[in-house]
Amino acid sequence: MFEKAKWIENQGCPNEWAPVFRKKFQLKEAEQVEIAICGLGFYVLEVNGKRVADELLTPPFTTYDKKVLYQVYDITNNIVTGENVIEVTCGNGWFNQKEADDWIFQHAVWKSAPQMICQVNVDGNCFLVSDSTWVSAKSRTYFNSHRLGDSYDATIDIQGFHRVDIAKGPGGILEKQTMPAVKLQGKYEGKEVFPYIFDFGQSITGNVEIKVQGNPGDIVTILYSERLRDDETIDRENIMQHVHSMRFAQDDYILKGDGEEIWHGDFSFHGFRYVQLRHAPTVKILSVMARDVHTDLVAMGDYHCDNENINRLHKACVRALLTNYVHIPMDCPQREKNGWTADAMLSSFQALYNLDMKESYQKWLDDIVDCQRPNGQIPCIAPTSLWGYQWGSGVTWDATLFVIPWNIYRFTGDISIIERFYPAMERYLGFLETQSDNDIFTIGLGDWNPPLKTVTCDGRALLTCYAKHVFDLFAQMSELLGFEEKKMYASRRAAEIRAAFRNEFLGKHAPCQTYYAALVYFDMVDDKKQAAKWLAEVVQQAGGHIEAGIFGAYIVPCVLRDYGYFDIAWEMVCKEDYPGWIYMMNKCHGAMAEQWNGSSSLDHHMYTAVDGFIQESLSGLNFNLGKAELQQIYLKPYFPKGMKKFSFWHQFDEGKIEISWDMETYRVVLPEGIEGTLEFAGKKYALKVGKNEFAIPFKLG
């Protein structure tokens, strides 16, 4: 593919303007016409004036000098006998960022003018390619930036087409996209809460579609925000802090002036709940619709119970993951849009219960590997060009390279994901060996964003725990792949790090939830029951509240549950006051926040691992206990006080497993090819294919 095609660009097009590329051609009847295409940063493809496909913000963001993804579309139904026209409009996207930001993407090594490459095959044979016979002009999009927004002038009569210029290309290898595309998931009508300020009632990732009437040349400006001020204006300060531009999250539309006009931008996306419209008095606003946009991830599971707060929390956790997935697992859609590694690692504990993440995670793990340095180091955000190798990187964040492949394997039993990333893990361990001081690790971030005024885990202790953890995981993966010597090496290093940790921290660390949980979760003590007891005690001293950052927020409830303190863990999850997940959720708009008190971003996914805890606890389907590759599951459910009804499903390759219980009966439906064991009330029961029912021998509720 693309053997004869050339990357083409329009060197005369101004920096912020989106160029349009055009090719006219004659074609007789054909059985099948396909186009393979990539346009950077984002592109819109039209054939004979009609947009091709429903994919948005294409292609996915990658480390463009290493890899570029292309798409293939069947355009047979777009083609007519006789003259046809292909038009491709290219926006800047991540490829050609002009504005300065804290992550210096404005100096990315791949940065260049928008450009495209394509090949059209007719009945399996190459028919035309992008080359110097194409022509180009300025489109109607006179400004575009994936963070700053789109500006579109409907009065422009596109003309002045001239021959294109041959481009050098981005430098990366072209590969066909296999991950799900970004698509429109729905539209929501805004409610005008103050003059020209519209509220959509929830966190949205996407942009706004307006329907307007007015005079030629009238301008409508759309400003995006996730907060309102007390003076009934939108508050944008919290989302503008990392991008150094007077303009941010703003779209503009210049009316053509010929009746009703409908418009939305094509080359940017925003995170928002509110928008403010500014326009001339002659403009009539007919409708304002939010376009909900994210990667088209397929549902793999769901649950419902008779605790409405828990149902809302579940929806908020899933929503936070979806609004933060535009080709990569972003940290927030309204502000940074970066692929922070620890955020995705922690949310993967719930994402794999709820969504089909395999292809999307594999693409993003490829991004991490594409950013890996020759010495094995990886950055704390991916994709990236220059930033992320100094501040923020360290084994707590870098463990993503090990944890997500391991989680995918646990959920799917597919060992190929481990085989794919095993070499990169091995290179990373070579780098990690250079980062310790006598096997105590000091470089990197600790338990990020704990509640204010709480005792936090020593960052060195958490880093050292995660260093041991990645060696432990590497040992297990080496065993799966049959690499006995590498398994022995990793096991030995894990034991040595454990010994160094015990010498440095045991009996010396202040009482702290994350620290005590880490002692158990990462196997840093011999007497885990005693450490779990200490954990339960400090939680009770905190009034039953969570007092941990993003790492402790996952492991604290899990350790409590697994060592006999499920009631304490459940009370913690259900707390409605600060700090707690319900409190955080109530501060947000259907998603989850960056801070326990909701003081910063209102759409993050790094605290959503709690939803995985809820699902594996109440269903009993804990993938740490089962062997997915042997089609064996092990169910060990917990029954919270006050809950009387629960239902759950999860999709395996073999079919759907369904679990439900009420005050009298626990039910499991297993598809063909899956068997298992159920444990509760101190007994174990064999599970067969089909319906399984068991009387619950104790009182619920």
**Mean per-residue pLDDT over the chain, rounded:** 96
Average pLDDT (687-700) is: 87
> Which runs of consecutive H residues, i.e. helices, occur in 542-649?
552-562, 566-574, 581-587, 610-619
In angstroms, rounded to a whole number, what is the distance separating the alpha carbons of residues 547 and 328?
A: 29
pLDDT confidence bin for 696, thresholds 50/70/90: confident
> What class is the 308-592+600-619 domain?
mainly alpha
pLDDT tens for residues 575-589? 999 999 999 999 999
Query: Sign of dihedral through CA atoms 225, 345, 306, 643?
Result: negative
The class (CATH top level) of 628-695 is mainly beta
Closest CA to 683 of 700, 701, 697, 667: 697
DSSP 181: P
Q: Long-range contacts of range 685-691, CB-CB < 8 Å, 24 or more positions apart?
A: 687/633, 687/635, 691/667
**Partners of 44 in beta bridges:** 89
Nearest-CA neighbor of 328 among 269, 377, 274? Answer: 269
Phi-psi region of 337 (alpha: psi -120 to 50; beta: other; left: phi over 0): left
- Residue 627: the pLDDT is 47
What's domain 8-179's architecture?
Answer: Sandwich (2.60)
| Residues paired with 211 in a beta bridge | 262, 287
The pLDDT of residue 631 is 65
Count other C-beta atoms under 10 Å from residue 249's C-beta.
26
Q: Cα–Cα–Cα angle for 370, 375, 376, nearest 5°?
A: 50
What number is the average pLDDT over the span 586-613?
95
| Cα of 570 vs its chain's centroid, Å | 27
Closest C-alpha among 241, 211, 292, 228 to residue 100: 241
Tens of pLDDT along 429-452? 999 999 999 999 999 999 999 999
Whole-angstrom Cα distance, residue 364 to residue 454? 34
The pLDDT > 90 percentage for the chain reads: 92
CA–CA dist 214, 206 (Å, integer):
25
pLDDT digits (tens, 9 = 90+) for 272-281: 999 999 999 9
For residue range 490-541, what is the model confidence (pLDDT) as tens digits? 999 999 999 999 999 999 999 999 999 999 999 999 999 999 999 999 999 9
Distances in Å between the Cα of 373 and the Cα atoms of 180, 385, 386, 444 are 28, 11, 11, 17
Strands 440-441 and 67-74: unpaired
- Whether 660 has a pLDDT exceeding 80, the answer reads yes
Count the helices and strands in the chain (H runs, E runs).
14, 40
Contact indicator for 263, 152 with CB cutoff of 8 Å = yes
Sign, CA torsion 39/44/49/50: positive
Identical fold, 308-592+600-619 and 628-695: no
d(CA 223, CA 303): 37
DSSP 281-295: TT-EEEEEEEEEEEE
Which residue type occupies 438? Answer: N
Looking at residue 673, its pLDDT comes to 86
Is the pTM value of this prediction over 0.75?
yes
Q: What is the DSSP secondary structure assignment for residue 402, as one 8-state letter?
A: H
Average pLDDT over residues 334-348: 97
Cβ-contact 16, 159 below 8 angstroms = no
pLDDT in tens, 72-113: 999 999 999 999 999 999 999 999 999 999 999 999 999 999
Q: Mean pLDDT throughout 255-272?
A: 97
| CA–CA dist 197, 236 (Å, integer) | 13
pLDDT of the residue at 218? 98
| The listed CATH number (3.50.50.60, 3.90.580.10, 3.40.50.880, 2.60.120.260) that belongs to domain 184-295 | 2.60.120.260
Mean pLDDT of 565-576: 98
Structural contact between residues 43 and 89, judged by C-beta atoms closer than 8 angstroms: yes
pLDDT at 681: 80
Q: At what angle do helices 552-562 and 513-521 cross, to 10 degrees?
A: 60
β-bridge partners, 354: none
Given this model, what pLDDT does residue 701 score?
Answer: 64
**pLDDT value, residue 173:** 97
pLDDT beyond 90 at 3: no
What is the per-residue pLDDT for 257?
96
Cis peptide upstream of residue 41 (ω within 30 degrees of 0): yes
Give the model's confidence band at 1: pLDDT under 50 very low, under 70 low, under 90 confident, else very high: confident
Q: Over pLDDT 70: what percentage of the chain?
A: 99
Would you call 374 helix, strand, or coil by DSSP?
A: coil
The domain locations on the chain are 8-179, 184-295, 308-592+600-619, 628-695
Orientation of helix 610-619 relative to helix 341-354, angle to 10°? 30
3-class SS of residue 425: helix
- In 388-443, the DSSP E strands lie at 436-437, 440-441
Local structure of 154: helix, strand or coil = coil
